[in-house]
Amino acid sequence: MKNTKRFIALIIAFLIGFAVFVLYHEKETLSRQKAELRLSADVVAESVWTLFTPPATSAYLDQIFLDRYYKKLQLISMESSILAHMERDLNKPLNILMDKLGLIHEHSIASPILYNGSVIGQIQVEVYHLNIYLYLTILLVAFVVFLAIWFAMLLNKNNIDIAERKLNEMHLKRLTETLQEKVQQEVEKNRKSEEIIHNQKKADRYGGEDDKRNLPPVEAASHCTWV
């Protein structure tokens, strides 16, 4: 019972810790994505300033669009001219399933594009949020660990029960042997007592007969006359 309470307390502590981790990781993920987007804004600043997107900039945008799981990316000038536009949907079956289950969500972030200290445009993105796979992995590992702990507790309890059963059997055996010894001793004591009584009676009987034989003749005759 005590081990069960400890096990439940351990699960509760894990769930609390896991919730804290999720909140912290979500915050850190958003901060990292914003930092990455600010860096990208610095990289494309010159292209936005010249209103020209060279092949190197296009290749860079293609790369970050794929690596960072952006759903949508737009590069916009101050005149609201769209200099670059990329968009895609999830294509992996597992991602699509997770998205339908509401386990993958999206959020939008934007960063100003600066050139010589002045804002000349903006880079906007919509990001697929895929942290669910990390969380599911942690939960799966935790499930396996807790399952192993539970089986270990059951095995330990079973071993303790077996040990207690053997100990009880030993105590019972010793108690039975002690009781048998006492009974045997009591029987032996009674037997000796009976022998002593029997021998005493026997001695008394033989002693009485000897006394009669040793009586004087006159007394014996006198005795006979009275009868």
Helix, strand, or coil (residue 109): strand
- How far is it, in rounded angstroms, from Cα 219 to Cα 65? 146
Which residues have a Cβ under 8 Å from the Cβ of 126 and sit 6 or more positions away?
Answer: 70, 71, 72, 106, 107, 108
pLDDT of residue 41: 93
Sorted by where each begins, the domain ranges of the chain are 2-130, 158-227
Q: Report the share of the chain in percent with pLDDT over 70.
A: 88
Determine how many CB atoms are found less than 10 A away from the CB of residue 61: 23
Structure confidence by residue, pLDDT tens digits, 74-88: 998 888 888 889 999
Question: What's the average model confidence in pLDDT over 54-78?
Answer: 89
**Of 46-50, 106-110, 125-129, which range is least confident?**
46-50
- The C-alpha R_g of the chain, in whole angstroms, comes to 51
Residue 185 has pLDDT above 70, yes or no: yes
| CATH fit for domain 2-130, picks 1.20.970.10, 3.30.300.130, 3.30.450.20, 3.20.20.70 | 3.30.450.20
Q: pLDDT band for position 3 (50/70/90)?
A: confident
Q: Is 85 or 189 the better-scoring residue by pLDDT? A: 85
Residue 65 has pLDDT above 80, yes or no: yes
CA 172, CA 194: separation in Å to the nearest integer? 32
Q: Is 226 left (phi over 0), alpha (psi -120 to 50) or beta?
A: alpha
pTM of the model: 0.64
pLDDT tens for 6-50 read 888 889 999 999 999 999 999 999 999 999 999 999 999 988 888
Return the exposure string of 137-159: e unless at least 16 CB atoms fall within 10 Å of the residue's CB, then b: eeeeeeeeeeeeeeeeeeeeeee
Mean pLDDT value across the chain: 83
User: Which distant-in-sequence residues (6+ apart) come within 8 Å of 174 by Cβ?
Assistant: none
